[in-house]
Structure 1
Amino acid sequence: MTEMIRLTAAQMAEGMRAGEFTSTELVQAHLDRIAAVDGGDRGINAFLHVSGEEALATAAEVDKIRAAGGGGTEALHPLAGVPIAVKDLIVTVGQPTTAGSKMLEGWMSPYDATVIEKVRAAKLPILGKTNLDEFAMGSSTEHSAYGATRNPWDLDRIPGGSGGGSAAAVAAFEAPLALGTDTGGSIRQPGAVTGTVGTKPTYGSVSRYGAIAMASSLDQIGPVARTTEDAALLHELIAGHDPKDSTSLVDEVPAFAQAARRQDVTGLKIGVIRQLQGEGYQEGVLARFQESLDTLRAAGAEIVEVDCPSFEYALGAYYLIMPSEASSNLARYDGVRYGRRVLPTDAPLTIERVMGATRAAGFGEEVKRRIVLGTYALSAGYYDAYYGSAQKVRTLIQQDFDAAFEKADVLISPTSPTVAFPLGEKLDDPLAMYLNDVATIPANLAGIPGISVPGGLADDGAGGQLPVGIQFLAPAREDARVYHAGAALERLLAADAEPLWARAPELQTPAAQTAGE
């Protein structure tokens, strides 16, 4: 494998500035990697669309500016020329945006999402669009209409969801950076099981304009990377107020990368959430979690326990609020305005029958399940009992967080209760699948920032070792705190061993073997 693609995004940027390689060479190396490991029966299947021509054109433009020297290079963004992948839930001009669904197969957006406008302005070559659970509904990226994505650490295991494509692409060295969306953990949970870093920003701090909505009060775009510093650099790029997003915060963008470079954790108060450990968590996950606590304590952090009793009801509240909002947002896919249209085979031809035929053919089983659940929760006679009660629980969860942050600067927990499970293991048990997000959901309900960083390896139950994620949470608007804590743990663990992302196994797919010959 070309060593160039094993660098961090920050190292790639520095290498280009130093003239060690060009953006064109860097992009081509990643395109070659995608061609080698992503396709075929045993390929990663991280990408639904690869935009090699566009990526190379952007890279050539960056190289031309650098070659000219002078004032032009000063105007370049620090990440200019570093390639990026984009979750296929974020609309992008010139590339299909499918949301992982047959409903939008081949659909081309007439406009760019705000985050894409910022990525293009900074001249990051866009490698393509990554796979996801259909309309971001899933915890394993097995619910994509275009096939499941595989975990690069074990091709028979899930890469997490719904943003498994972005996490797998970064873990497999197909891209150094990626954009994802996090509604209940869909950036952090894939990060945990693929050994990558994923951040869910404070709600409203990154524009959602152009992200296909599932649950509007929960969705948040965020960065996927191999290191905390890389995630912080990308976060700085995409954050900021957007008048096109009515929920966008007007705050100035903090120096996230500077926070990620802070070394000292002496006196940092870290709260261990009592409800997010114990029963249901694998032994190996808890062992790595305890080791992380011991490491932070030895470095001078103060570890305290916090109690968040309402977290017991977070999963139930989420799976009423999210499908309720999803059923409303997905009503627009009716076979009339845009997207797929299926005509009924028999008369009469009415709008109602066109809508029924289109939605039956265009939506997968998990999407239909959540639409039915959400529509029921919002129906007359049940609204107060279900949706209204769930919103009250949401308030209690926010109050629990407020009380916890009076005792601690950041909170810590395992990101996911288990390592990556085998493909297909939970497809027939939706409730078991939903439990994978038990530790990540509370942050979305409260709108606070969270990050998952690699915490080591644990037994996979079959004689192998798979990544474990450690989650840090902070009060709203205090995203810099999660970068400080996450980067500190990352450095402390790397003092004893190579960073986890650097230990990712080489892939032995048939295409990769052929490319290496």
Structure 2
Amino acid sequence: MSLAGPLHELSIADAGRALRAGEVTSLALTEVALDRIAALNPALHAFVLTLPERAREDAARADAAFARGIDAGPLQGIPYALKDIYGTAGIRTTCHSSLLHDHVPTADCAVEEKLAAGGGVLLGKLGTFEFAIGGPSFDLPFPPARNPWNLNHFTGGSSSGSAAAVAAGMVRMAMGSDTGGSIRGPAALCGTVGLKPTYGRVSRRGVFPLAYSLDHCGPLSWSVEDAALTLQVVAGHDPLDPASADIAVPDCAAALGQGLEGLRIGYTRRFYIDNPFLTPDATRALDAAAERLADLGAVVDEVDIPDFALFDACAQVIMFAEAYAIHETDLKTRPMAYGRYAYQRIASGAVLSAADLVQAQRLRRELTDAVHGGALRSHDALLTPTSLSTAAPFSDFGPDAARWGGMLTNPFNVTGSPALALPIGFGTDGLPLGAQIVGRPFDEATVLRIGSAFEAAAGVSGHRPPLALPAAS
């Protein structure tokens, strides 16, 4: 292949082909990434820690492996970054909190083990909401990440730094986590792809938990193909994660490009159309996305799933109960070490009863059965919103923790279904809008196939934020 354009714009797939053809080195990709981080991060605050020496060592190791004919997989020689709840041996992992400001794990998390074994190049750690909850707080050790499309707006959360870094082209792929939408929400508001795999598909071992039964790990990336290639590396059974599923991982990238003929996609329009946070921009973009999928050959018709309020109540009770159980000792002994937002949200779990949690778990089973045995029994996937509006400005966040409305992601943490966030257009304010493709359990291949076809036809993913900063070359 012939390299055209700046190196930082090469996808994982294209960079991989160039590496294997000897047209570029991992060290060259890494130096470009480090230069771009140095130029952009002072304004975006996506990275809380950069690791230039480690990155150069990883890159040199990958280049040497290529020279010896060793190929460890699609991420060999590719720079990436981790949300700062992913444990890394000998490298500070803070969860964006004063409580863990100097915390240095002694072991890598399972995802980092796989990325390192696959020859990836670790650039650093990315900002998050404190303990992956709370909001864009200014009372923490590091400032909140800013949206590359407008620095006065937030990124969504809690994989805030991951979304900002990918959207700004600092990195092609960043790992995030998703307990109620923390991969898909930032992906939607920053105009990137974000994949929440099926619950149990990717090990959470060594990743600081928010809610054990809702937590998922997955990538944010520039493209669906890059998400698929990343999943091939990080997915798989881990006997040390009690929730890990011992189910074979298919070649998800092989399903890309097959087209949509023969697929049935359920459009959950009635699920959101009366939501008070719905904007005209989002309505137009979602309807246009449904029409585009039909134009691509899929059978698209409207389907019903249970009311969002039921999913939301169920998810909130489970998340706050489990989060409180994790943080109870620190909340009682070191309450002032928490930021205000995280403290207020996690401490709310103290008032929940055992009966509340039992009822929420019972409702969870009913809701999961209603989705998997209903709309997803008759359809291969669902089209549904991620957010019903564009990113809010920081000025909308007051002194106390508040839930931002219009984010419709947590239903699929309740069900554990695979869900892929995709950019589908822009609002009149110039900020991104997104939708999600939701699939049957462990059928990421179909979800990615649909997303890839939409991405190629819509052309939205090729748009980049108008950053008034020098581009890397």
Determine if the alignment matches structure 1 residue 205 to structure 2 residue 174: no
2:266 paired residue number: 271
Match of 2:247 among 231, 251, 269: 251
Partner Cα distance (1:144, 1:292) in 2: 39
2:36 counterpart of 1:33 = yes
Please say if 1:406 is aligned against 2:377. Answer: yes
Query: Are 1:417 and 2:420 counterparts?
Result: no
Answer yes or no: is 1:493 the counterpart of 2:458.
yes
CA distance in 2, matches of 1:141, 1:84: 25
Q: How big is the shift at 1:263?
A: 3.2
Q: 2:322 aligns with which of 318, 322, 325?
A: 325
Letter in 2 for 1:53: E
Is residue 456–residue 469 contact of structure 1 (8 Å, CA) maintained in 2? yes
Alignment of structure 1 residues 107-118 onto 2, 5 Å: 107-118=103-114
Alignment partner of 1:368 is 2:371: no
> Equivalents in 2 of 1:466, 1:309: separation in Å?
30
In structure 1, which of residues 484, 497, 500 is the aligned counterpart of residue 449 of structure 2? Answer: 484
Q: Matched residue of 1:401: which SS? A: helix
In structure 2, the CA distance between the partners of 1:285 and 1:213, relative to structure 1 (3 Å rule), is: same
CA contact (8 A) 1:8 1:226 kept: yes
SS of structure 1 residue aligned to 2:351: helix
Find the aligned partners of 1:436 and 1:190 in 2 and give their Cα distance.
13
Query: 2: CA distance between counterparts of 1:141 and 1:159?
Result: 12
Look up the match of 2:59: 59
Correspondence 1:187-266 to 2 at 5 A: 187-259=183-255, 261-266=256-261
Give the corresponding residue for 1:281. Answer: 278
* Equivalent residues of 2:259, 2:450 under 8 A apart: no
- Aligned match of 2:418: 449
Between the aligned partners of 2:322 and 2:139, the Cα distance in structure 1 is 19
Distance 1:371 1:201 in 2: 25
Of residues 22, 27, 34, the one that matches 2:25 is: 22
Note if contact 1:310-1:400 (Cα within 8 Å) is conserved in structure 2: no
2:467 is aligned with 1:507: yes
Separation in structure 2 between the aligned mates of residue 429 and residue 396 of structure 1, nearest angstrom: 33
CA contact (8 A) 1:141 1:160 kept: no
Pairwise CA distance, 1:310: 4.0
Offset at residue 245 of structure 1 (A)? 0.6
Cα distance, 1:66 vs. partner? 2.1
**Deviations along 1:138-158, whole A, 9 cap, x unmatched?**
455768541111011111111
When normalised by structure 2's length, the TM-score is 0.94
Matches within 5 A, 1:385-404: 386-402=356-372, 403-404=374-375
Contact kept? 2:135, 2:342, Cα under 8 Å: no
Q: Deviations over 1:2-39 (max 9, x none)?
A: 71001111111111112221100100100000000101
Partner of 2:45: 45
Contact 1:304/1:408 (<8 A) preserved: no
Structure 2 distance, partners of 1:257, 1:263, is 10
Q: Please identify, of 423-432 and 155-164, the stretch whose mean Cα deviation from structure 2 is larger.
A: 423-432
Task: Give yes or no for contact 1:286–1:414 (8 Å, CA) kept in 2.
Answer: no
Q: Is 2:94–2:101's contact at 8 Å kept on the other side of the alignment?
A: yes
Secondary structure of residue in 1 paired with 2:431: strand
Instruction: Give the SS at the match of 1:128.
Output: strand
Given that 1:457 and 1:468 are in contact with CA atoms closer than 8 Å, whether structure 2 keeps it comes out as: yes
The equivalent of 2:117 in structure 1 is 121
**Aligned runs of 1:433-448 on 2, under 5 Å?**
433=404, 435-437=405-407, 439-448=408-417
State the Cα distance separating 1:76 from its structure 2 match: 2.7
Query: Alignment partner of 2:166: what SS?
Result: helix
Aligned equivalents of 2:230, 2:382: Cα separation in 1: 23
Give the whole-Å Cα distance in 2 for the aligned partners of 1:122 and 1:52: 19
Report the TM-score when normalising by structure 1. 0.87
Deviations 1:178-223 (A, max 9, x none): 1000000000010001110001011111101001011000001101
Deviations along 1:421-450, whole A, 9 cap, x unmatched? 1113134564442x343x110000111110
- Compared CA separation, residues 59 and 250, structure 1 to 2 (3 A): same
Q: Find the counterpart in structure 1 of residue 7 from structure 2.
A: 4
Change (3 A) 1:5 1:325: same
Q: Which AA in structure 2 matches 1:361?
A: M
Structure 1 moving runs of 4+ over 6 Å: none
Alpha-carbon separation, structure 1, partners of 2:449 and 2:359: 36
Which residue of structure 2 lines up, in the alignment, with residue 146 of structure 1? 142
Q: How far apart are 1:331 and its partner, in Å? A: 3.0
Partner amino acid, structure 2, of 1:364: G
Aligned residue in 1 for 2:291: 294
Q: How far apart are the structure 1 equivalents of 2:138 and 2:192? A: 19
Matched position secondary structure for 1:328: helix
| Matched-pair contact (CA < 8 Å) for 1:13–1:82 | yes
Counterpart contact for 1:192–1:467, Cα < 8 Å: yes
Which of 406, 422, 427 matches 1:458?
A: 427
What's the CA shift for 1:480?
A: 1.3
SS of 1:152's partner is: coil
Q: Return the letter of the residue paired with 1:96.
A: R
Does residue 180 (structure 1) correspond to residue 176 (structure 2)? The answer is: yes
Percent identity between matched residues is 36
In 2: Cα distance, 1:16 partner to 1:8 partner: 12
How far has the Cα of 1:387 moved from its partner?
2.2
Aligned residue for 1:340? none
Larger radius of gyration: 1
Give SS of 1:406's match.
helix
C-alpha offsets along residues 367-402 of structure 1, whole Å, 9 cap, x if unaligned? 221232111103xxxx31x32222232122112212
- 1:94–1:289: structure 2 CA closer, same or farther, 3 Å change rule? same
SS at match of 1:103: helix
Partner of 2:163 in structure 1? 167
Name structure 2 gaps, 5 residues minimum. Answer: none
- Aligned positions, number: 467
User: What secondary structure sits across from 2:396 in the alignment?
Assistant: coil
Report the counterpart of residue 135 of structure 1 in structure 2: 131
Partner SS state of residue 147, structure 1? coil
Supply the AA of the counterpart residue of 2:245.
L
**Closer, same or farther: CA 143–220 of 1 in aligned 2, 3 Å:** farther
Q: Given that residues 271 and 304 in structure 1 are in contact (C-alpha distance below 8 angstroms), is that contact kept between their aligned partners in structure 2?
A: yes
